[in-house]
Amino acid sequence: MKFKNQNSKLMNKFQRLTQIEYKEKLEKTLFKTFFHNPEWHDFLEKEFKWLKFEYYLYGSNRRDGKDEAILPFARFRVLGKEKLVSLPFCEYGGPLPLRNEISFDEFFIDAISGFGKNIKIRFHPGLLDYFIVPDPAPFISNMTTNWIKDLITVDEKQLLASFRKTLRYEIRDARQKNILIKKCENAKELKQFYGLYFANLKRRKTVPYPFSIFEFLYHNPNAEIILAALNGKIVGGNLFLNYGKFTHYFFSAFDYYYRDFGISYLLVWDKIKNLIGQDKILDLGASPKDSSLDIFKRGWGGTEYPILQLGIKRSEESLRLSKLRNIWSLLPDFVVKKLSPRLIKYRL
């Protein structure tokens, strides 16, 4: 698959890579996430035939002969228009640095000139240690993330005491309900966890990810699923991804019947406790700013980071599925599961 507008400027700034070449460059990058792994891309291409990944080397023709970054894209069509996303099925994407300092503004100009405006590139905040951004304001998206840092030196009691009173109450109240926190141990528990996730997304009239994604991550050594059980029943869970110094809070779910049991609070607190003494950062994941999920994550007192985005903004995307959303929660589960793999592209 080739770009329709592969002009000389694109070819001067971006060089197409094979996946093998991309893997070789990936080993040399100064920063990367779980989502940049080609094994993840292969899985997504297999599951979603409408999606294809492409890889590029940026800055290959610099005067000093040094490459600057590699950039993966997923290409697909939405309502007849091509869209390029780096990366889909996650909060983050973006180019991976091959050198310590890269001009964000130059990269933005080159990316738009080369690939057009139908791109979406969300930058992991960790990338901004390498990309120099003079004025981030024009690129701030509606998504933010919160990081809990400095866990290597923190004391558990002092950390708990530093939380606001209502957060400490939620944790203490959940403990008193004898909720058991455990690892997901088998396929049956995985299906129960996914069932909670599916019900949560359907209730919010949002297209859920298919079970196959959860199954892939369950078998991946860089993923960990922590469950909450009450009287032998799975009532909640979190899925975390590990890469570099980061533990990334990726998926969560809870039984709506037990929504007042503080399950989500207890699951996050358990992960924080396990990370104390380690040189790790707990990334609570991206959320729409000022949403209920964002408020929940801010409550942990971490450091908030805006997520910078190039290209398409949410308000500019072509399809909101508004009519379908109004009846989504009324559809039978088997219909939702059948339609979701086809409709999920409109969430990306």
Residue in the structure block whose two tokens are 């403990």: 175
Residues 6+ apart with CB under 8 A from 332: none
What local confidence, expressed as pLDDT, does residue 241 receive?
97
Residues 6+ apart with CB under 8 A from 217: 223, 225, 239, 241, 250
Residue 284 and residue 171 share a domain = yes
Quick check: pTM over 0.75? yes
- Farthest-apart Cα atoms in the chain, separation: 66
What local confidence, expressed as pLDDT, does residue 313 receive?
65
Residue 167 and residue 77 share a domain = no
What local confidence, expressed as pLDDT, does residue 328 receive?
73
- Three-state DSSP class for 223? strand
Q: What is the mean pLDDT of each run of 10 residues along the chain (348 residues)?
A: 44 86 96 96 96 90 71 92 93 93 92 90 95 93 93 90 89 91 96 96 90 97 96 96 96 93 94 95 93 89 93 53 68 85 84
CATH number, domain with residue 53: 3.40.630
Residue 287 lies in a domain: yes
Task: Identify the DSSP state of 65.
Answer: -
CA angle 25, 26, 27 (to 5 degrees): 90
Range of the domain at 215: 150-301
Alpha-carbon distance of 66 to 253, in angstroms, equals 45
- Number of domains the chain is built from: 2
